[in-house]
Amino acid sequence: MTTATVEAPAGVPVVDIDPFDSNFLTSPYEDHKRLRDAGPVVWMPAYGIYGAAQHVSVHAVLNDHATFISGAGVGLANFNKEEPFRPKSLILEADPPSHTKARAILARILSPKTVMQIRARFTAEAESLVEQLLERQAAGETIDAVKHIGEAYPLKVFPDAVGVGNEGRENLLLYGDMIFNAFGPRNERLRKAAERVEPVTAWIMAHCARENLSKDGFGEQIWRAADAGEISPAEAPMLVRSFLSAGVDTTVNGIGNALLCLARHPDQYDQLHADHSLARPAFEESLRFESTVQTFFRTASRDTELMGVLIPQDSKIVTFLAAANRDERQWPNADKYDIQRRPAGHMAFGSGIHGCVGQVVARLEGEVVLTALAKRVKRIELLEEPKRRLNNTLRALASMPVRLVPV
């Protein structure tokens, strides 16, 4: 579905691509190149929005948070003109000064010190998962790298860390699919995901309540910030909601995409298998090569100029994080998956004041899963072509039957 075409502003390269079309979402990389090559800032008549796909322009937008604000929504919808899909996130869809306060609390909870405390548990869970999967495979079961690793691992460790009980955790995947679709247009994909919006949202909000969170998790720490008067008791469940919104479907697909990269590039897996210290750089390169969050939007808070293009106040601009991560102006052999690369400055976690606040936990999950596999598995063989789960924002997978060849 495309909205009415708004007239193209003079002097801006026009790219007539629908970035929420199924073909685009299935294989975006050639269209990403078209977007980059048209210029640092383009006009997209399909939605009447500006677009940035080069590394330099994505970086410029995300690092000027006063001009390119988040409070009017980080999806296609302009919250100054239309009702948000759900009550706004206190961190994602907020600007300073209120953003600063929410960010400080989440950053303290998701700190490197926290990672030191959870590391042993996260490692043990990854090792026992791989062990268990090898046993099930030996007993004749087919392993699905999406369901049994990409989904199973984050659905175990992250809700455990937040302090959410075991019952109904599949709601976290349904909710993630819904909210990441909701950053795009109100197309068929969103309508389908939103069919179950009421029970799923009710489950999520129930698990933001203090009495449903364990005493030793990240969720309870939010409530303690409310006790201390840093936030109001009404704000606490909304910040817990951010954990449950941003912490699962992202790492699920970050891990899934990494496993697909490694299965498709056996020479790269060989290197990881030979040197487990490559787990972290391999995860990082996978994030660059197949960025989980493909796009985020900003809204111009005033008339401005971006790399020679005039952008009127209230315009929406989409930043193609995944295209920036394949920009040949930034990365030598950008389309080569190379786990030795160390792609510092990639945009998969965003950039600037809204850069992923959970990235230390995401990296921990990726690292320990890849390390556990590298130790026990000498090759990941694809048994069938993996199936995609198309989402307006996420590069997501539905299934990936594999054989894990044990050492």
Nearer to ligand OVM, 242 or 291 (CB): 242
What is the DSSP secondary-structure string of 137-188? HHTTPPEEIIIIIIIHHHHHHHHHHHT--STTTHHHHHHHHHHHHTTS-S-H
For ligand OVM, the binding residue among 72, 110, 179, 208 (CB under 6 A) is 179
Nearer to ligand OVM, 36 or 395 (CB): 395
Nearer to ligand OVM, 92 or 172 (CB): 92
Smallest CA-to-CA distance from 119 within 374, 375, 366 is with 366
User: Is 102 an interacting residue with respect to ligand OVM (CB under 6 A)?
Assistant: no
Nearer to ligand OVM, 42 or 91 (CB): 91
Nearer to ligand OVM, 242 or 294 (CB): 242
The nearest distance, CB 94 to ligand OVM, in angstroms, is 9
The one-letter code for the residue type at 257 is N
User: Is 242 an interacting residue with respect to ligand OVM (CB under 6 A)?
Assistant: yes
For ligand OVM, the binding residue among 89, 171, 253, 330 (CB under 6 A) is 89
Q: Tokens representing 245? A: 């919104």
Smallest CA-to-CA distance from 355 within 344, 363, 347, 343 is with 347
The nearest distance, CB 314 to ligand OVM, in angstroms, is 23
Q: How far apart are CA 317 and CA 320, in angstroms?
A: 10
Nearer to ligand OVM, 20 or 337 (CB): 20
> Residue 318: which residues within 8 A CB-CB, separation 6 or more?
19, 44, 49, 50, 51, 52, 76, 295, 296, 297
3-class DSSP state for residue 314? coil
Sites for ligand OVM among residues 291-350 (CB under 6 A): none
Nearer to ligand OVM, 20 or 180 (CB): 180
Question: Which of 87-95, 150-158, 218-226, 297-305 is the region at the interface with ligand OVM (rule: CB under 6 A)?
Answer: 87-95
The single residue listed with the structure tokens 């102006």 is 329
User: Is 35 an interacting residue with respect to ligand OVM (CB under 6 A)?
Assistant: no
For ligand OVM, the binding residue among 57, 67, 70, 245 (CB under 6 A) is 245
User: Is 246 an interacting residue with respect to ligand OVM (CB under 6 A)?
Assistant: yes
What is the DSSP secondary-structure string of 226-290? HHTTSS-TTHHHHHHHHHHHHSSHHHHHHHHHHHHHHHH-HHHHHHHHH-GGGHHHHHHHHHHHT
For ligand OVM, the binding residue among 76, 92, 178, 311 (CB under 6 A) is 92
Question: Which of 53-61, 86-94, 193-201, 275-283 is the region at the interface with ligand OVM (rule: CB under 6 A)?
Answer: 86-94
Under the rule (CB under 6 A), what is the footprint of ligand OVM?
A: 89, 91-92, 179, 241-242, 245-246
